[in-house]
């Protein structure tokens, strides 16, 4: 029952929270650049405006893929906040990502195809670390279920410091922050054409934006999970610090190449993530 409440709460509240986070992100970025920045509600205005524009698509399939991206981003989060299986959350997130990529492939436009390829490279870069994080949660708590992991008495970050750091590393990729925003930057003005989302417009682009909000909340929820046992305030503060660091990184780094992205994400997953898992395994014996 509590699971259902969590899932429904996510479906209803995540776009609100995600939009606010996006607004705060833009203000913080502006302040880091000595600007004032937009109002905090700006992302909502953006989405409402996009929804009121006329559809203009190369192929109607784009709308379908964008809709499925949103749908499965919601499913992934609902599984997570409903206390469901962590691996299934990761798989569902991957499914959502695949739909987004297909949406970028569908128009067969050179710019958006390159965006799709680069998005796939990003997915390939972060996927091992996300799975390792899920495996780490199981090894530390004995369960893949988020509710059981959440209820675990000791903080995961204590047992899995490497996994946590590795997760923060790939979070940068997943949140589309520099230096790993290969396929499309989170901020429109940092782009020449806008990679992955080049051919999305109007309501279809709005679906992608909202899907991204859901993803952001889900990912920050994952960060929270590692700190949950420290108490809600400490954990929340931790999440805020993590996000602020991501924004900082976004503003102080230039974009790196895909080679560096894939190589570094895999190396980090191996050195911090895999080593941590093996250490937990062998120390337990």
Which of 132, 239 has the CB closer to other proteins?
A: 132
The C-alpha atoms of residue 141 and residue 137 are separated, in whole angstroms, by 6
Q: How far is the CB of 96 from other proteins (least distance, A)?
A: 10
Q: How far is the CB of 239 from other proteins (least distance, A)?
A: 24
Q: How far is the CB of 88 from other proteins (least distance, A)?
A: 6
Which of 17, 30 has the CB closer to other proteins?
A: 30
Which of 235, 277 has the CB closer to other proteins?
A: 277
What does the DSSP 8-state code read for residue 190?
G
* DSSP H helical ranges for 82-144: 86-105, 110-141
Q: How far is CA 71 from the centre of its chain?
A: 15
Residue 227 burial (CB count, 10 A): 21
Phi, psi of 49, deg, nearest 5 = -65, -45
Which of 117, 181 has the CB closer to other proteins?
A: 117
Which of 126, 235 has the CB closer to other proteins?
A: 126
Q: How far is the CB of 233 from other proteins (least distance, A)?
A: 32
C-alpha distances (whole Å) from 90 to each of 41, 49, 73, 132, 237 are: 30, 31, 10, 11, 24
Size of the chain, expressed as the number of residues it contains: 285
Copy the structure tokens of residue 16. Answer: 């609100």
As beta bridge partners, residue 85 has 145
Copy the structure tokens of residue 282. Answer: 């062998």
Q: How far is the CB of 231 from other proteins (least distance, A)?
A: 28
Which of 78, 223 has the CB closer to other proteins?
A: 78
């Amino acid at each position: 029952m509590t699971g259902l409440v969590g899932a429904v709460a996510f479906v209803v509240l995540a776009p609100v929270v995600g939009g606010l986070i996006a607004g705060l992100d833009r203000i913080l970025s502006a302040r880091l650049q000595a600007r004032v920045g937009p109002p905090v509600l700006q992302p909502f205005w953006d989405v409402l405006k996009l929804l009121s524009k006329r559809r203009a698509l190369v192929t109607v399939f784009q709308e379908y893929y964008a809709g499925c991206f949103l749908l499965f981003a919601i499913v992934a989060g609902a599984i997570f906040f409903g206390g469901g299986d962590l691996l299934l959350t990761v798989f569902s997130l991957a499914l959502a990502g695949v739909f987004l990529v297909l949406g970028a492939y569908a128009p067969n436009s050179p710019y958006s195809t390159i965006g799709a390829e680069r998005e796939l490279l990003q997915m390939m870069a972060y996927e091992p670390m996300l799975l390792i994080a899920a495996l780490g949660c199981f090894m530390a708590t004995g369960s893949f279920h988020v509710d059981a992991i959440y209820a675990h008495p000791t903080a995961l970050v204590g047992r899995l410091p490497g996994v946590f750091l590795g997760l923060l590393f790939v979070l940068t990729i997943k949140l589309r922050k520099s230096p790993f925003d290969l396929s499309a930057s989170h901020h429109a003005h940092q782009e020449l054409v806008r990679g992955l989302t080049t051919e999305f417009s109007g309501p279809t682009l709005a679906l992608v934006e909202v899907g991204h909000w859901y993803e952001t909340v889900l990912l920050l929820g994952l960060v929270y999970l590692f700190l949950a046992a420290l108490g809600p305030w400490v954990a929340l503060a931790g999440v805020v610090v993590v996000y602020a660091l991501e924004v900082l990184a976004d503003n102080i780094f230039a974009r790196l190449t895909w080679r560096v992205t894939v190589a570094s994400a895999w190396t980090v997953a191996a050195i911090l993530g895999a080593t941590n898992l093996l250490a937990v395994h062998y120390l337990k014996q």
